[in-house]
Amino acid sequence: MAVYQGEDTVQLVKDAADIAEVIGEHVSLKRAGTNLKGLCPFHAEKTPSFTVNPERKTYHCFGCGEGGDVISFMMNLHRLSFAEALKELARKYQISLPEKPLNPQELEKAKKREALQSANEKAAELFHQSLLSDLDAQKARAYLGKRGIPEEIIKEFRLGFAPDNWNFLVNALSRQNITSEAAKEAGLIVAKDNGGFYDRFRNRVMFPIVGLTGQVVAFGGRILDDGQPKYMNSPESPIFDKSRTLFGLYQNREYIRQAKTCLVVEGNFDLLSLVVHGVRNVVAPLGTALTQAHIRSLKGYTDEVILFFDGDQAGLKAAMRSVPLFLSEQVSARIAVLPETHDPDTFVREFGQEGLNKHLKTAMPLPEFVFDKLVAQYGSSVAGKTKIVAELRELIKAIGDQQLQRTLFVSHFAKKLGLAPQQLLEGVVPATNNQATRSPVSPGKNEVKIPLKQRQLLEFLLVYPEHLPVFMEAGLEEIIVNQFGLAILHLLQSQPDLSGGAEQLLEFATGPERSFISRLLITAPAHSEEMKEQMAQEMLGWLSTASLKTKQERLTQQSSEARQTQNAQLEMELAIQKIQLNKARHS
C-alpha cells in the first residue's frame, strides 16, 4: 500500500501546508509587498528573483523559470517522488492519508526507500542506547568525555556506539524485523564471501547523518583504537548522496540563518566541539570536498561561508577546488586558516568562543587567499608567475561560462600579475555546463513568445477559469492559434473542475507551461468581483469581434480558392455564409 493521491487528498495537504514555512526552512525569505522573495535554491544568483505567494500557495523564480506549489518544491529540492513529497508534508502537518495499491514498480521503489529509512532509524536507536547504557560502551563515553562532549549534545545529535562485535546489528536488526537486504543496502552490514553478513561499523563512536527532512540517511563512525580507517561513512544509497549532504545542517540550520554566516569545518568532532562552545552556525562535509550541491544547500540559509581549514598543502588544495564553486553559485566565501598544531576542536577548547570570533575576523576572501598562497609557493619570478598562471587558468576553466564572475576574476588577478586580462585567458576553454558548473539563467530566458492579446485572454482564464465556457462560445478557439497558447488552452479544457483555481493546473503542467502558470500566479493582482466582471465583459466583446473577423477572413480566402477552381456551388455557399457573418458582426 502507499499514499492515495486523489484530488481531495492532494488538496487537503496543500491547504494544510504553509508554503512560506516550508520554503522558508531552506530559503531566507523577505517580505516584498504581498509576496516573499529570496535567492533561488535551483540556480546561481546574487539578486533575489525567487518569489513566493503565500496567498496562492505558489512560487516562481523569474531567473530560471522554476515554479510550482509546495509539493513540487519538495520534489525538486529533495529529489522526492510526488508520493514521497506528499507523504512528507502530511507527516509535517499531521495529516492522516488514505492509501491505495501501487503498481509493482512503484511499490518496489517505495518499499525500498521505506525499508532503508527504517533500517537507519532502528540502527540509530540501537547505537544511541548502546552508548548511553551498555557496559561495553564505557570506553566510548570516556572518549567523548575526554573530547568535552556533554550528555545534552550526545542526546541532541543522537550520538551512539557500535560495539566491537561482528554481529551486533546483524542480530539486533533481524529482531526488529529489518531484513538483511535492507540493512545491507543502507550500508549497515556487509555480505560475507561465503554467505551471511557482518557489521560494517565496529568499535566506533557513531554520528547519525540527518537529511533536511529530519530522517537518518547514513552514519559516520570514528574508531576507538588504532584501527583503520579512523573515520568511516556509510556508502551511498538511494536515500544518501554524500555530495549533497552536510553533517549538522539539519540541527544548526536556524542558527546559521540567524548568524547569516556559516562556518565549514572538516570533521564531525570539530563541529561538535564548536557547538559545545556555543558556535552553532557550522556544518561539515562528509569526508569529501565541498561540492556545488553543498554550497547551493547553504545558500538558502546564509549570505557568507567561512572555511575553517588547516593552512597546509591539503587545506590549500581544498580551498582551490572550492573557489570556482563559490564563484559559480555567487556565494561570498572567506577562509580562516588555523594556526599550526591546531584544528577547530583544539582551537576553540583553548581560546573559547571569544578567541574564535576574534580569529574569524581575520578571514581572507577565498580567491585572495589562494592567490597569496600560490605566490608564496612559486614566487614572483617569471618562472613562478608562469606556474601561478597555469594554476589560475584551471580555476578560470572551472568557473565556466558565467561571464560576470569570470571577467571579474580574470581582471583582478591579471592586474596583480602585471598581465593583460587576455593573456591570463589565453588557451582557456570554459568548462561545459554540467553538474559542477551550472551557469545562472538570465531573467526572461524562459519567457514564451505569444501574441499580446492571446496572452491577456489566457492569463485572465488561468486566474478566473470559471469564465472558460462562455469564452469558448464566443470563439476563443478561433483566436488562440499560437502553439504554446493552444497547449495552455488544452490544459484548461482537460480539467473538468477548476473551482480551486489555476493552482490545480500546476499538478498537470510541465516545462514552459508550468513556468508560465507559476509566474502568472505570482504576478497577477487580485481583483474585486465588480472589476473581474467588467474585465470579462470587455474581453468577451473584443473576442466576439475578433472571432467574427477571423472567420470572415477565412471565408474570403476560401471564396478566392473556390473561384480559382471554378467551383460555383461552393462559392455560392460561402457567399451566403459571409452575408450571415456580416449580419452577426453588425448586430
pLDDT at 538 over 50: yes
Average pLDDT over residues 49-55: 91
The reply to whether 2-100 and 452-584 are identical in fold is no
Scanning the structure block, which residue is given the C-alpha cell 492559434? 481
Of 442, 462, 457, whose CA–CA distance to 520 is shortest? Answer: 462
**For the segment 90-147, what is each residue's pLDDT rounded down to a tens digit?**
888 888 777 666 667 767 777 888 899 999 999 999 999 999 999 999 999 999 999 9
Average of pLDDT values for 398-403? 68
335 pairs with which residues across the strands?
A: 307, 364
Distance CA 243, CA 312 (A): 24
| HEC per residue, 145-212 | HHCCCCHHHHHHCCCEEECCCCCHHHHHHHHCCCCHHHHHHCCCEEECCCCCEEECCCCEEEEEEECC
Instruction: Sketch the domain layout of the chain as residue ranges.
Output: 2-100, 105-240, 452-584
Average pLDDT over residues 63-91: 86
Long-range contacts of 71-79 (CB under 8 A, 24+ apart): 71/10, 71/13, 71/14, 71/507, 72/506, 73/19, 73/22, 73/23, 74/22, 76/42, 77/26, 77/41, 77/42, 77/212, 78/211, 78/212, 78/213
What are the beta bridge partners of residue 191?
A: 197
Give the CA distances from residue 508 to residues 36, 69, 505, in Å, rounded to whole numbers and listed in that order: 25, 12, 5
Pairing of β 30-32 and β 99-100: unpaired
Residue 303: per-residue pLDDT: 80
Q: CA angle, 430 as apex, 429 and 431 as ends, to 5°? A: 115
Average pLDDT, the chain: 84
Measured at the CA of 36, the angle between CA 30 and CA 38, to 5 degrees, comes to 60
Cell output for 559: 471564396
Distance CA 545, CA 393 (A): 63
pLDDT at 433: 44
Output the CA torsion sign for 212, 214, 218, 219.
Answer: positive
Instruction: At 330, list the grid cell.
Output: 555567487
Q: Which CATH architecture has domain 2-100?
A: Alpha-Beta Complex (3.90)
**Higher-scoring residue by pLDDT: 168, 314:** 168
Dist. CA 526–CA 108, nearest whole Å: 45
Q: Is 143 exposed, middle or buried (0-12, 13-18, 19+ CB in 10 A)?
A: middle
Q: What percent of the chain has pLDDT over 90?
A: 33
Q: Domain 105-240 falls in which CATH fold?
A: DNA primase DNAg catalytic core, N-terminal domain (3.90.980)
Residue carrying the nine cell digits 551471511: 196
| Region of poorest pLDDT, from 192-196, 454-458, 563-567 | 563-567
Is the per-residue pLDDT at 445 higher than 80?
no
Residues belonging to the chain: 587
Per-residue pLDDT tens for 282-313?
A: 999 998 788 888 998 888 788 899 999 876 66
Which pLDDT belongs to residue 434?
Answer: 44
pLDDT band at 432 (very low <50, low <70, confident <90, very high): very low
- What average pLDDT does the segment 314-322 reach? 77
Give residue for cell 581572507. 364
Q: What angle do CA 576, 572, 569 make, to 5 degrees?
A: 140
Q: What is the DSSP string of 113-131?
A: HHHHHHHHHHHHHHHHHHH
Q: 452-584: what fold?
A: DNAb Helicase; Chain A (1.10.860)
Does residue 551 carry a pLDDT above 80? no
Q: What is the dihedral of CA 108, 110, 112, 115, to 10 degrees?
A: -130
pTM beyond 0.75: the answer is no
- Name residue 543's amino acid: L
User: Range with the lowest mean pLDDT among 210-224, 229-243, 333-347, 482-496?
Assistant: 482-496
Concatenate the DSSP letters of all residues of 337-354 into one string. Answer: PBPTT--HHHHHHHHHHH
Bigger pLDDT: 454 or 587? 454
Q: For 506-532, how does the pLDDT look when each residue is reduced to its tens digit (9 = 90+)?
A: 777 777 888 888 888 877 776 778 878
Between 344 and 514, residue with greater pLDDT:
344
Greatest CA separation found in the chain?
A: 105
| Mean pLDDT of the region 17-46 | 88
* CA 159 distance to own-chain centroid: 28
pLDDT of residue 180: 94
By CB atoms closer than 10 A (0-12, 13-18, 19+), residue 247 is buried
- Helices (H) and strands (E) counted in the chain, each on its own, are 25, 19
Of 474, 497, 519, 414, give the one whose Cα is nearest residue 68. Answer: 519
Among the listed ranges 293-302, 377-386, 492-501, which one has the minimum average pLDDT value? 492-501
